[in-house]
Amino acid sequence: MIDPVTLAVLKGRLEQIADEMDATLFRSAFNPIIAEAHDACHGLYDAATGATLIQGKSGLPIFVGVMAFAVRAVMDKFGDTVVDGDVFIFNDPYLGGTHLSDFRLVRPYFRDGTLFCWLGSVGHWHDVGGNVPGNYNPAATECFQEGMLIPPVRLSAGGQTRQDVIDIILANTRLPTSAWGDLNGQINALDLGAKRLDALLAEYGAGTVADALGELRRRAATMMRSLIAELPDGTWSMEDFLDNDGRTDVPLKVALDLTVRGDRMTLDFSRSSPACAGPVNIALSTTVASCYVALKHLFRDVPANAGVMDPIEVVVAEGSFLNVKAPKPVGGYTETILRIIDVLFSIFEHVKPAITNGQAYGTINALSIAGHRPNGARWVMFSFYGGGHGGNPEGDGLNHGNAPISTATIPPVEILEAAYPVRFTQWALRPDSGGAGTHRGGLGAVYEIEVMNPEAEGFVFGERARFRPKGVLGGGEAAPTRFSYEGADGWAEPPLGAKMVGIPLSRGRRVRLETPGGGGWGDPLVRDPAAVARDVTLGYVTADAARDLYRVAVDAHGALDTVATARLRGTGA
């Protein structure tokens, strides 16, 4: 039995190893999606099962969840042939992956000739081939149109790097220099992780550290069972929708039936839509990881490891768009996992209202603009964009935040303008985009981008243009996504809402993205009128919305008109 003080110290030291691995990659990666946006993650995984032991706090939680499946895929394929010095690489989204842009490196860590644990690194590479620069192709009908697919292979064998594997990978990207830099950054992160583990195990001993890892998982599982046991027994249902699959303008349903029985929970997605033609399908491992991330948002004090899911069963029907196999396209996985998180947030309005919150903006609105420089070199600007988070029991939702699947941030405008021939003519909060509520939903944003190149093409892969983020406990819906682009005949919008390929652009023409806010929490008429007036003064809410949604009057100077407000709310003469 490990003593509490030693356990706390080792927990911190182990988390620091994963955090340092994150930092190493962020500082050395070539592409801004990793270097600036931190679209990557590192962790330690169980030697026998591949289960998550420790995750970095700066990377994407969704990656940590699926990496457990990735480690198991390596174990299943290579078995007892794994030796010290091996490093495995792949991006297969059906074997513990997400989509083809996310490259995984898995390294066994040996101590005194025995496998102690696995180290994992995953990062979003800038371009991995396929039909669309940046790889978010809403028109894809199979994974081969989304990029190269690399199965688990040895990148290094017993410490010897296999240059032939690297050559194959770099030959299948529009940006080989960027890919080369990202690959080396991930290798360096794994090297650092092994070095830090060497020092830790030399200080405390492999047995003590292994005991700590086991105890941390047991505590997470015990705490999760205790929290579930506090919930009422029963079954609740919730549904939400994706706008379409990028091919046909037909909604796709994410349906959840949540059952609590004692200290166990079942998350049943069997009523969800079948697999679709377009790229919003996801693999089963991604669905399970999405549930892990959502539950960690709701039960924040539970340690972040595989123990969280021990008392939880996830049920997904064969043939569902939440459980597909190759070659079904999965490039837009981000949109689907965000909707899974949305339904979990919303269903707790009925299960345990005290911890529920309004839905976040629910889409990364992936936007790529690509062209050629005067010297013929290819450039690809890919980025995702922020929006509002839901109102919650403690206050208003976050304005212009990152998606709940991650801690990834939007690359700074200065970095994007310096790296690519574009100019941001607007980057601002979007008034009235947050759902009304006792606690208002956070605001989305408005981005307007002007092309400085003679010619370019745009590609957008977004959601929430048809189905707005929902509020809870009487809170209002947020504003929807709106995407538009400037063509020869003026401004236009995509027929499918926020998905389109091959948008023709030229110097001086712009694209405009307006992102959703978050759903509101609680009855808007309970909101303090002074808080509404402050929102109007700050430009978060217009005077018209204050009157129509909150029944609050603001005078011409932006001050609260208490007499008119009392009349609107029926509390005065």
Q: Which DSSP string do the residues of 335-395 spell out, in sequence order?
A: HHHHHHHHHHHHHHHHH-GGG----------EEEEEEE-TTS-EEEEEE---BPPPPBTTB
Asked if the structure places residue 246 within a domain, the reply is no
* Structure tokens, 203: 């200080």
Q: Are 500 and 459 in contact (CB under 8 A)?
A: yes
How far apart (Å, rounded) are the C-alpha atoms in residues 103 and 124?
6
Measured between alpha carbons, how far is 528 from 536 in angstroms, rounded to an integer?
13
Which amino acid type is present at position 246?
G
Provide the CB-side half-sphere exposure for 366 (13 A, CA). 24
Are the CB atoms for 310 and 292 separated by under 8 Å?
A: no
Before 4, cis peptide (omega within 30)? no
* Within-domain flag for 478: yes
| Structure-token pair, residue 63 | 């990656």
pLDDT of residue 407: 66
Listed range (60-69, 376-385, 536-545) with the worst mean pLDDT? 60-69
- By percentage, how much of the chain surpasses pLDDT 90? 90
Q: Is residue 544 part of a domain?
A: yes
Residues 512 and 535 in one domain: no
44 and 182 share one domain = yes
Please indicate, yes or no, whether residues 535 and 494 belong to a single structural domain of this protein: no
Residue 412 sits in the same domain as residue 538? no
pLDDT, tens digit (0-9, with 9 covering 90-100), for 268-280: 999 999 999 999 9
Longest Cα–Cα distance in the chain: 84
CA distance 356 to 345: 6
Query: Does some domain include residue 288?
Result: no
Residue-wise DSSP of 237-287:
EEEEEES--SSS---EEEEEEEEEETTEEEEE-TTSPBP-SSTT---HHHH
pLDDT band, residue 572 (cuts 50/70/90) = low
Q: Strands 102-111, 87-90: parallel, antiparallel or unpaired by DSSP?
A: antiparallel
Across the chain, mean pLDDT equals 95
For 316, 369, 462, 470, 534, the CA distances from 446, given in Å and listed in that order, are 36, 17, 14, 20, 21
The Cα 342–Cα 350 span in angstroms is 14
- Per-residue CA distances from 244 to 101, 139, 250, 366 (Å): 22, 11, 5, 15
CB neighbour list of residue 570: distance below 8 Å, 6 or more residues apart = none
* d(C-alpha 148, C-alpha 157), whole Å: 22
Token pair listed for 321: 């768009």
Residues 9 and 126 in one domain: yes
The answer to whether residue 151 sits within a structural domain is: yes
Check whether residue 41 and residue 169 sit in a common domain. Answer: yes
Tokens linked to 153? 């292979």
pLDDT-above-70 percentage for the chain: 99
Of 220, 251, 283, the one marking the end of a domain is 220
pTM for the predicted model, two decimal places: 0.94
pLDDT mean over 76-80? 96
**Alpha-carbon distance values, 542 to 248, 400, 444, 501 (Å):** 36, 18, 14, 34
Q: What is the pLDDT of residues 307-336, one digit of tens each?
A: 999 999 999 999 999 999 999 999 999 999
Torsion of CA 191, 18, 31, 399, to 10 degrees: -170
- Lookup result for tokens 């988390």: 15
Query: According to the model, what pLDDT value does residue 60 have?
Result: 79
In this structure, the answer to whether residues 515 and 547 fall within a common structural domain is: no
Whether residues 490 and 546 fall in one domain: no
Quote the CA–CA distance of 182 and 91 in Å, as a whole number. 14
- Parallel, antiparallel, or unpaired: how do β-strands 52-55 and 160-161 relate? unpaired
β-strands 87-90, 114-124 pairing: unpaired
**How far, in Å, CA of 30 to CA of 126, rounded?**
9
Domain total in the chain: 3
Of 155, 185, 220, the last residue of a domain is 220
Residue range 362-374: average pLDDT? 95
**Residue 401: how many CB atoms within 10 A of its CB?**
20
Contacts of 296 (CB under 8 A, 6+ apart): 61, 302, 304, 308
279 belongs to a structural domain: no
Does 557 or 67 have the greater pLDDT score?
A: 67
- The reply to whether 450 and 536 lie within a common domain is no
Residue 273 included in any domain: no
Give me the residue label for tokens 């008119």: 564
Backbone angles phi, psi at 295, to 5 degrees: -65, -35
Spell out the residues 6+ positions from residue 247 whose beta carbon is closer than 8 angstroms to its own: 138, 139, 141, 276, 277, 278
Contact 413, 424 (CB under 8 A): yes
For residue 519, being part of any structural domain is answered with yes
Structure tokens at 76: 């299943």
For residue 224, give the amino acid letter: M
pLDDT digits over 104-159, tens only? 999 999 999 999 999 999 999 999 999 999 888 999 999 999 999 999 999 999 99
Question: In the prediction, which pLDDT does 265 show?
Answer: 98
Report which of 403, 398, 446, 440 is spatially closest to residue 529, judged by C-alpha positions. 440
**Residue 450, domain extent:** 357-523
Do 540 and 519 share a structural domain?
no
Report the pLDDT value the prediction gives residue 37, as an integer from 0 to 100. Answer: 86
In angstroms, the CA 181 to CA 97 distance is 21
**Helices 176-204 and 206-229 meet at what angle, rounded to 10?**
100
How far, in Å, are 46, 63, 103, 150, 299 from residue 213 at the CA level? 9, 20, 26, 32, 20
Banded model confidence at residue 573, pLDDT cuts 50, 70, 90: very low
Cα–Cα distance for residue pair 149/171, rounded to 1 Å: 13
Phi and psi at residue 261, to the nearest 5°: -135, 105
Q: How far is CA 136 from CA 133, 170, 412, in A?
A: 8, 19, 21
Q: Are residues 423 and 554 in the same domain?
A: no
9-33 residue pLDDT tens: 999 999 999 999 999 999 999 999 9
| Contact between 287 and 340 (Cβ < 8 Å) | yes
Q: Are residues 518 and 540 in the same domain?
A: no
Of 192, 220, 248, the one marking the end of a domain is 220
